[in-house]
Structure 1
Amino acid sequence: MLTINYTYRIYPNTTQQTELLEWIETCRGVYNYALRELKDWMASRKCPADRCSLEKEYTIPADELFPSYHRQQNNLPKAKKQFPHLGKVHSQVLQTTIRRVYDTWEAFQKRGYGFPRFNKLGQFKSFVFPQLKNNPISGHTIKLPTIGKVPINLHRSIPNGFALKSVRVGSKVRGTQWYAVVTITSDVSVPEIEPRSPCIGIDLGLERFLMASDSSVEESPQCFESMQSKLKLLQHRAARKQKGSKNWEKAQLAIARVYHRIANRRQDFHLKTAHKLCDRAQTIFAEDLNVKGLRRGMLREDCVDAAFGQFLSLTEGVCWKRGVYFAKVDPNGTRPNCFAMVSKGLNVREHHCPDCRDRTHRDTPPASLRERVAAEMVLHRGLEPVSRQRLWENESACQVGLSGVDDLDRWRGARTSNREIGKPALYL
């Protein structure tokens, strides 16, 4: 079963926008109410059996069952009688909202931290139509249950053989831009992508966004830094408005549009860079970075602006679509630590390090050299397990990885230091 998500821009009219916003607020209330029942039941079981809490006590009977997904879903018809505004929302939309609570609850139990939080005003931004009888897309409109027909920018058609499964409607930029995420499925089997030549390793950094083992470079776009002055001016103006007034809402909308533009520019750069990599190679290796750890360091602002996690995720998706093998390797120890100084005259144009046995032109910038060597180390780490699994049986016997003779000469001669990584073994 193959499942793909397509995102389209939709353009509801004023009446439909008002109704969609009301639905989102109703779903937010249902989500918070279901989570409140769950948290109260959990809090009532924290107190020891022989004594009560000094702060507060939850008077929930001991024989009360756990508010599971099915119990809360069955309570929805009773809640509609008590709260008539719930009946305005499609019934399956409310059911998927309850399901959303328990998806976060199950994720919390799986990872052991991050208890689900309540959604404040403006934080709940989407809802789902899980089932649709017929294909709702016809021409340049999409028919949503109860909402009606909404214009859609169908920038790419749905492939033949795919059936539409569900539609998620979401808002951005404080409810002024609307999108429909269409989930399509097909009963086809996708073969696993196997590594093949040529291949490259990529090293991500802040000075340069990307350095590949084939010496190609992608400079960092610095999307946030380029718009920071304008964003600072808009935030300064918004701070002088009375909170909740119409002028304050307009100022907040202008700030949201700038943030949305920054996110779009960053995503566009990541997608274009991923396609460039796929144009040059059929196998790509990248570092498995600790993205959460990078956001806590001294350079957290630059790391968040670069969005390495989003780039790796988008690159993996682009590689899957284009049939390119993608894998992540351990990032520890990929940066060269040799900074030995070697004296030489002006007539000597080549730098030769006696410690790490590296050879390069003397005019090569040290930062570029370190990044290129790091990318080559990433490439070697990716090729080593692939060679052990003998996935290159279709290649000639003289090849190790993708260009065995060149790699062996490089590692035996000028490129390899005697480090923990070790030298590559020859698999013939």
Structure 2
Amino acid sequence: MLQQTLKALDRAFSDMKSKGNGFPRFKKKMRSFVFPAMLTNCLADGKVKLPQLGWVKIRQSREYPTGFEAKQARIVRKASGFYLMIAFQSQEQCPEPTVGKTCLGIDAGIESFVATSLGELIKAPRFLLEVQRKLKLLQRRLKHKVKGSHNWLKLQGKIARLHESAANTRHDWHFKLAHHLCDLADNIFVEDINFISWSRGIVRKRSLESGIGQFINEILPYISWKRGCFYLKVDKNGTSQQCPNCYQATGKKKLSQRLHNCQFCGHTENRDTASAKVIEYRGKIAVGQSVIQNACGDVLTGVKQLTLFALVKCH
């Protein structure tokens, strides 16, 4: 168990060289530690047997999975208490999701959290705004306490529990939204966006509060894999500059312009849902599906689709 600290330090130096991360910083406290190997017959109802600690009582949040073997355990300290995370392993092979029939394009927006190609605009709740009044009051009190005193530590704990509560609410909402999106289609296509740049731009507060980067890059791919849905990232360039009806380039739009008006076919639609339809169109081409939408209102749909597909592939 003590070797895990050295492994974490070695991984930090490796990431500094390979990924360009900063120099590893010294930390006074470790908020978690790992048991790399578990004992045999170490699981029971409401308790777990840990190496060097013996049987420890836990508030078991869910049943242990059957047919799996406990391989590793991590104890994490949070503001609300200590949490035990157990990693299980099975000999069964999990097949990768294959391309299905129905498709769904998802656009990460500014006014709305995500917009779907079905015309659905989903706004994120203001998780931090709901506790901001109480948080502001506690931080004002904290300023007048002596740093390191008992009252100062008590207030720090209250503030940390408020932040943890907002994070847990956001996390739960993300998982429920991911399941809702997986109910709509077999294939899910999203934009390949660098959300780190979003967190440094003019929309940094909304993007950090909503957790859009965590949802698109971590939670949605995991739920899609768990539900057997095909997940794919497509090119983000020009999704708001292309008409979802005739697929002509309409030019750049300002952030204040929230409505899509095509000067070629006269199509009018919300900007975010129009981008989601373009994302769905690009995803279908990427997986080799034919575009079933009638381009430019032509009666010979199949002929026009094949011509449009050839033009996109040439570009």
**What TM-score comes out, normalization by structure 2 length?**
0.85
Q: Match of 1:239, as an amino acid?
A: K
Mapping for residues 149-188 of structure 1, pairs under 5 Å: 149-173=55-79, 176-188=80-92
Identify unmatched segments of 5+ residues in structure 1.
1-92, 341-350, 393-399, 415-421
Q: Who is 1:331 aligned against?
A: 236
Instruction: Tell me if structure 1 keeps the 8 A contact 2:103–2:186.
Output: yes
Cα offset, 1:230, TM superposition: 1.8
Mapping for residues 367-406 of structure 1, pairs under 5 Å: 369-387=270-288, 400=290, 404-405=291-292
Q: Match of 1:208, as an amino acid?
A: S
The change in CA–CA distance for 1:374 and 1:150 in structure 2 (over 3 A counts) is: same
SS class of match (2:138): helix
Cα offset, 1:354, TM superposition: 5.9
Q: CA-to-partner distance for each residue in 1:318-373, whole Å, 9 max, x for gaps?
A: 11111011111122211236699xxxxxxxxxx9956242424xxx6xxxx10110
Q: Who is 1:320 aligned against?
A: 225
**Structure with bigger gyration radius:** 1
Instruction: Tell me if structure 2 keeps the 8 A contact 1:206–1:220.
Output: no
Q: Match of 2:17, as an amino acid?
A: Q
Mapping for residues 37-52 of structure 1, pairs under 5 Å: none
SS class of match (1:254): helix
Cα offset, 1:155, TM superposition: 2.9
Mapping for residues 111-130 of structure 1, pairs under 5 Å: 111-121=19-29, 124-130=30-36
Mapping for residues 87-106 of structure 1, pairs under 5 Å: 93-106=1-14
Match of 2:163 among 259, 264, 272: 259
The change in CA–CA distance for 1:113 and 1:190 in structure 2 (over 3 A counts) is: same
Match of 1:296 among 200, 210, 226: 200
Distance 2:151 2:260 in 1: 65
Q: CA-to-partner distance for each residue in 1:243-275, whole Å, 9 max, x for gaps?
A: 111111111111001100110011011101000
Q: Who is 2:309 aligned against?
A: 424
SS class of match (1:319): helix
Q: CA-to-partner distance for each residue in 1:171-224, whole Å, 9 max, x for gaps?
A: 101xx4111111111122221211112110011112111110011221111211
Q: CA-to-partner distance for each residue in 1:268-315, whole Å, 9 max, x for gaps?
A: 111010000011111101112211101111221111111112101101
The change in CA–CA distance for 1:238 and 1:131 in structure 2 (over 3 A counts) is: same
Distance 2:284 2:44 in 1: 48
Q: Match of 2:52, as an amino acid?
A: T
Cα offset, 1:426, TM superposition: 9.2
Distance 2:261 2:210 in 1: 33
Distance 1:262 1:358 in 2: 44
Distance 1:353 1:332 in 2: 19
Structure 2 residue 296 is the aligned partner of structure 1 residue 412: yes
Mapping for residues 198-209 of structure 1, pairs under 5 Å: 198-209=102-113
Q: Who is 1:273 aligned against?
A: 177
Distance 2:284 2:266 in 1: 21
Instruction: Tell me if structure 2 keeps the 8 A contact 1:284–1:326.
Output: yes
Q: Match of 2:189, as an amino acid?
A: F
The change in CA–CA distance for 1:188 and 1:244 in structure 2 (over 3 A counts) is: same
Distance 2:94 2:151 in 1: 53
Distance 2:203 2:21 in 1: 26
Distance 1:279 1:352 in 2: 28
Mapping for residues 346-385 of structure 1, pairs under 5 Å: 355-360=263-268, 369-385=270-286
Q: Who is 2:190 aligned against?
A: 286
Distance 1:161 1:177 in 2: 30
Mapping for residues 52-91 of structure 1, pairs under 5 Å: none
RMSD of equivalent CA atoms: 2.4
How many pairs does the alignment contain? 290
Identify unmatched segments of 5+ residues in structure 2.
242-249, 254-258, 299-306
The change in CA–CA distance for 1:333 and 1:249 in structure 2 (over 3 A counts) is: same
**What TM-score comes out, normalization by structure 1 length?**
0.64
Q: Match of 1:372, as an amino acid?
A: T
Instruction: Tell me if structure 1 keeps the 8 A contact 2:261–2:267.
Output: yes
